[in-house]
Amino acid sequence: AQTVTQSQPEMSVQEAETVTLSCTYDTSESDYYLFWYKQPPSRQMILVIRQEAYKQQNATENRFSVNFQKAAKSFSLKISDSQLGDAAMYFCAYRRSTDKLIFGTGTRLQVFP
Amino acid sequence: NAGVTQTPKFRILKIGQSMTLQCAQDMNHNYMYWYRQDPGMGLKLIYYSVGAGITDKGEVPNGYNVSRSTTEDFPLRLELAAPSQTSVYFCASTREIAYEQYFGPGTRLTVT
């Protein structure tokens, strides 16, 4: 069975600094998708970034980028120039091409001014 | 475009009561999902649907039922509420399996 592990229950970062959130996953599949979702206190789930496993290039969305290491089954999220509005729970998620999303347990990110 | 809407936002149930959580989307998405999120945890899939008339179980389906009579609506039914069903429930939809899922705002349910 596929699993997603986020080993950092909490992280903190100073405003304007960079932070990296870790995620590892277990799968025997070669074709799948990986996602990072942000959940602010409002509880809304917001997609931050997605990565297709067949793409070697790491996905980037403005201040958010990933380090996708397929052989190591690692999918970390880097947030550059952190802002107070980045404070939230961040969930890593995995999906096979024909299957459902599997979520990790989340990392709570605090941003200090 | 309202996106994915859920009602109610909050609900308190007594043990043994029944209720239906409503979910609707106006994006013409075929795929719809119900998740629950327990405190300090990620989301777990309860049920999902790949189109009108087609539903299937997720990881934690016990105690729940769903139906999908239209593309737009995907209600979740709790028949005999139990304290273990206290959670936040999210509905989501997506156009195609490879694309992102759009989430509703969630329903916070407490069973006492």
Helix H or strand E segment including A8: none
Interface test with A, best of B30, B37, B87 (most A CBs within 10 A): B37
How far separated are the first and last CA of chain B, in Å rounded? 36
**If we measure between CA atoms, which residue out of B93, B86, B89, B92 comes closest to residue B106?**
B89
**Residue B6 and residue B106 in contact, taking contact as beta carbons nearer than 8 Å:** yes
Q: How confident is the model at residue B21 (pLDDT cuts 50, 70, 90)?
A: very high
Per-residue pLDDT tens for A70-97? 999 999 999 999 999 999 999 999 988 6
If one counts every other C-beta atom within 10 angstroms of the C-beta of residue B15, the result is 11
Q: How confident is the model at residue B98 (pLDDT cuts 50, 70, 90)?
A: low
Average per-residue pLDDT in chain A? 93
Closest residue, chain A, to B35 (C-alpha): A101
Q: Contact A47/B88, CB-based, under 8 Å?
A: no
If one counts every other C-beta atom within 10 angstroms of the C-beta of residue A83, the result is 12
Closest Cα of chain A to B18: distance in Å?
A: 24
Q: Contact A97/B98, CB-based, under 8 Å?
A: yes
Q: Which residue has the higher pLDDT, B79 or A96?
A: B79
Q: Which pLDDT value is given to residue A1?
A: 66
Closest residue, chain B, to A42 (C-alpha): B105
Alpha carbons B34 and B21: distance in angstroms, whole number: 10
Q: Which pLDDT value is given to residue B39?
A: 84
Statement: residue A98 has pLDDT above 70:
no
Cα B112 to the chain's mean position, in Å?
A: 20
